[in-house]
Amino acid sequence: MIINWESFTPIASLGGGILIGIAALILMITSGRVMGVSGILSGLFSADDTKLWRLAFLGGTLIGPLLIVTITGTPIASELVSDGWLLYGAAFLVGIGTALGSGCTSGHGICGLARFSGRSLAAVITFMTMAVFTVYIIRHSGLGG
C-alpha cells in the first residue's frame, strides 16, 4: 500500500469528522432524530408533520459551507471525477441505493456505527467494498478509460 502523504490532511479531516459527530449529537438530543442525510431528504416525500425540522437541517447543510467560504475567504476544493451519463447514472444509483438501503455515509456510517447497529455495519461494509471495487475498475483495470 502506497500512502499519498501530499494529499493527507489528518488535522482538518479529524476536526471536520468531530464536527460531524457533534452535529449528529445536536440533532439527536434536540429532535430525537438520526442524522442521516438520505433519510432526512427522502422523508420530505411523505405527508407527515416532520417537514419543518427536515428543511431546517438541510438548509443548515446548504448554508454551512457557504459561511466558511465567506469567513475564511478561501474556496473549498471540489473537483469532479466523472462526467456525462456516467456521472448522472451514478447520481441515480446514489439515490435509489440509499433509499433501498435505508441510509448513506452519514446515517449508517456516522450514526449507525456509533449506535453499534448490525444493519449499519453490514451496510457500511457493503458500500465501502463496492465503492473501492468500483474505483479499482475505473482507475486500474483499463475498463474505465
Partner 1 sequence: MALISGLVFGVGLAISGMLDPSKISGFLDIFGVWDPSLALVMAGGVAVNAVGHRFVMRQSAPVFAPRFSLPSLTSIDRPLLLGSALFGIGWGISGLCPGPVLANLLLIPEKMVLFAAIVCVGLWVGRAIKQGLEKSQVD
Chain residues 40-79 in contact with partner 1, contact rule CB under 8 A:
41-42, 45, 52-54, 56-69, 75-79
Considering only residues 122 through 141, tell me which ones interact with partner 1, judged by CB under 8 A. Answer: 122-124, 126-136, 138-140
Q: CA–CA separation, 86 vs 83, rounded Å? A: 6
Q: Rounded to the nearest 5°, which phi and psi values hold at 45? A: -75, -15
Least separation in angstroms between residue 101's CB and partner 1 is: 3
| Residues 115, 104 contacting (CB under 8 angstroms) | no
Q: What is the x/- site pattern for partner 1, positions 82-111, by CB under 8 A? A: x---xxxxxxxxxxxxxxxxx-xxx-xxxx
| Binding-site size, partner 1 (CB under 8 A) | 111
Nearer to partner 1, 32 or 73 (CB): 32
Q: Is 106 left (phi over 0), alpha (psi -120 to 50) or beta?
A: alpha
